[in-house]
Amino acid sequence: MFDNISILFQAPIFAVDLLVQGLLIGGIFVLAAYGLALVWGVMNVKNLAQGDMVILGGYVAYQCTLWGIHPILALPIAFVVLFVLGWGVYAAIIRRVVDRDMFTSLLATFGLSLLIQQALNLRFGPEVKIAEAGFGTFDIGELSIPAIRFVGLGLAAVLAICIVLFMRNSRMGQAIRATSQDPRAARVLGINTDQVYAFTYALNAAICGAAGVLVAMIWNIQPFYGLVHSIRAFIIVTAAGLGNLPGVIVAGFGLGVWENYSGFIFGAEFAVAAVVGLLVVVLMVRLFQMYRLRQVVR
Amino acid sequence: MSAQKLDLSLYGVLIAAGILVPLLAPAFTSQMAILWLMVLMAVTWDMTGGQMGYNSLGNIAFFGIGMYASAVVQIGIVYDVAEYTAAFGAIKVDFTVEQYWTGLLLGIGFGGVVATVFALIIGPFMLGLRGPYFAIGTLGLAVAVAELVSGWSYVGGGSGISMPVFPGEAASGSQVFYVLLFVLAILAHVVIRAIYKTRFGLAINAIRDDEDKAEAMGIHTTRYKVTAWMVPAFFMGMAGAVFGNMSGFIEPLEVAFPTATFGIFMVAMALLGGKGTVWGPVLGAILFHIVKEVTWTHLLGWQWVALGAIIIINIVYFQQGILGWAQDRWPSLFGVTVDEKTTRTGQAEAAK
């Protein structure tokens, strides 16, 4: 472990490489985390199936490459497929857990997560898959970075800007924000909150699907990787707080950087442990902040 | 029939089934052993999940920790553990009969103690988290422990440890592990049922109903919560130690920390039977295991998809579970007294 740290100091180019790669990956984490924050803030549902929807989107892209469609063109396809699927999931499951206690939604979406990952395992098998986009590498000085990572980050940024503009300006976006502030008042003012919830959940699924396409292009997918993606989204949202878009972006990039550095320093076998360990740490920090708050109130 | 007598006769039925089934149908011994393991898991999960309202998704961590602790003790008393695991099972250590038994008993006890200590250390932190944060945090904890163990070469990392071989015939070995799991399951239920009858049981129920109010009433909630988490940890640790010996080979992701199988089964079983009831988890475990064993092989690979569907249906449409529903319907059978003045029908009658 200490050998690896000293390598970082002896060859700073490695450190810069890890930083850039981490930032490029982090953009994708931001997308999934934003979707989670949306669903969490608007309808108070903790979606543990978040990561599995990401992976599902990845498999849509993979399937498209098998059919000879370029993965970048698979992005809108995955967006639409996951949107429809999200609407269906809302109608079948989430509608019934929205106003129940939060553990209910957590466990129901955990069941959904099991269902998705096992179905993917049956359909595609447990091997690690990549949706080959066929870009070369991109050289800056001594660094050589796969160009697809830049493309991925760019696409993520475009998508995020579109969603933010949609939430700000469209009629539906306004309705979603109104519902998240006060569902009862929104209902009184003639907003069909059930439809808003359905749209929100479907939009979240669609964002996850698009993020999944990017993951499949610049990284890899496997049916059981979903849980770690869910945990990443939870880390980012918990660290940033709800309704804090700049915080989500910073936390997402930070997580990407942390993952790359910890994977290098502790070794690849501890990569997942470093992510999940960070979740526990973030929860603990939040907890101590809360304790301080309680002391002040007292 | 009073609640007390009902409980006694149910214990009688369970013990009779536990003794008679392996005698009359020895082919089912290993399935029955798994059944007792599941009963133990569901019952201990329900202590924090059902009675205290802290729904843990990571109790499986105690199971794996107990399993690894016992493995280290059992091998460690006769051989150097690091060398043994570094050889990936190439080293065959001949345990004498005496060494095997002392190792097994020490290992089971040690497994329980290590898991309990782990709960004691991690408890004050994790149990400060409320509601869904606790569930996510414990899930993260279980995954983190599993990943850490699979990266730790002292205990064999991802390639696992082969456990000492049972001295004697394989059939008598499976009987021994059956008896151990059976005794542990019954013991866990008796102990936890006895706890529910004390002030401690009332205190954790108060925490479930309203934690802030319970604290205001003078209950030292953190202390109660941690203690209530240590009891499941103790039993899960011992069960893990026995199960590790029963499977003969342990590795982190599938055997010791199976978050996606046993880890979620125990929650599903407790919910199916009715969480927060004394016998619900037992009923849920028995039903779940029977349904699983009968239908699993006919589903041709779709069983895990079906499991997800079962959990969703259970939690969305039938959350109170079988005994929870029965308890609402016939409260007197469960020794619950309902104050008619506070129920909706009672108030309607009083208004007349």
**pLDDT tens digits in sequence order for chain B, 352 residues long:** 566 788 888 888 888 888 888 888 878 888 889 999 999 999 999 998 888 888 888 899 999 999 999 999 988 887 777 777 777 666 777 778 888 888 889 999 999 999 999 999 998 888 888 878 888 889 888 988 988 888 887 877 777 888 888 887 777 888 888 999 999 999 999 999 999 989 999 999 999 888 889 988 888 888 999 999 999 999 999 999 999 988 888 888 888 888 878 888 888 888 888 888 888 899 999 988 888 888 777 777 777 788 788 888 888 888 788 888 888 787 777 766 666 666 666 677 776 6
Dist. CA A133–CA A214, nearest whole Å: 10
Say which amino acid occupies B307. Answer: L
pTM of the predicted protein model: 0.86
Cβ contacts of B85 within 8 Å, gap of 6 or more: B153, B154, B155, B156, B157, B161
Domain ranges of chain A: 2-297
Q: Which DSSP state fits B247?
A: H
Q: How far is A265 from chain B (nearest CA, A)?
A: 14
Q: Torsion angle of alpha carbons A147, A148, A149, A151, nearest 10°?
A: 100
Rounded alpha-carbon distances, angstroms, from residue A192 to A177, A180, A183, A200: 13, 13, 10, 12
Residue A13 backbone phi and psi in degrees, to 5? -60, -35
Interface of B with A (CB under 8 A): 55, 57, 125, 128-129, 131-133, 135-137, 140-141, 143-144, 147-148, 150-151, 157-158, 260, 264, 267, 271, 301-302, 304-305, 307-312, 315-317, 319
The alpha carbon of residue A206 is apart from the nearest alpha carbon of chain B, in Å, by 22
Distance CA B224, CA B226 (A): 6
Which one-letter DSSP state was computed for residue A129? B
How many contacts, defined by CB atoms under 8 Å, are there between A and B? 115
pLDDT in tens, chain A (298 residues): 667 777 777 777 777 888 888 888 888 899 989 999 989 888 888 888 999 999 999 999 999 988 888 888 888 999 999 999 999 999 988 888 887 777 788 888 888 998 898 888 888 888 888 877 777 777 776 777 777 888 888 888 899 899 889 988 999 999 998 998 888 999 999 999 899 999 999 999 999 999 999 988 888 888 888 888 998 898 898 888 777 788 888 999 999 888 888 888 887 778 788 888 888 888 888 888 877 776 655 4
Residue B306, in any domain of the structure: no
Distance CA(B259)–CA(B265), nearest Å, equals 9
Give B301→chain A minimum CA distance, Å.
Answer: 7
- Give the DSSP letter of residue A98: T
Residue B281 lies in a domain: no
Q: Where are the alpha helices (DSSP H) in B151-299?
A: 170-196, 199-209, 211-216, 221-247, 262-273, 280-295
- Report if residue B329 sits inside a domain: no
Question: CA triplet B172, B265, B224: central angle to 5 degrees?
Answer: 100
Which residue in B270, B280, B283 sits closest to B315, CA to CA?
B270
The Cα A180–Cα A282 span in angstroms is: 25
A200: left (phi over 0), alpha (psi -120 to 50) or beta: alpha
- Assess contact for B249 and B25: CB atoms under 8 A: no
- Alpha-carbon gap, residue B59 to B42, rounded angstroms: 10
| Segment A146-178, tens digit of pLDDT | 778 888 888 888 998 998 899 889 999 999 989
Please judge whether A111 and B310 are an interchain contact, meaning their C-beta atoms are less than 8 angstroms apart: yes
Domain extent, residue B204, equals: 25-260
Instruction: Work out how many domains chain B is built from and give that number.
Output: 1
Q: In angstroms, what CA-CA distances link B309 with A48, A106, A116, B94?
A: 15, 14, 10, 47
Domain spanning A2-297, CATH class: mainly alpha
Give the residue from chain B lying closest to A280, CA to CA: B137
Of A46, A270, A290, the CB nearest to B147: A270
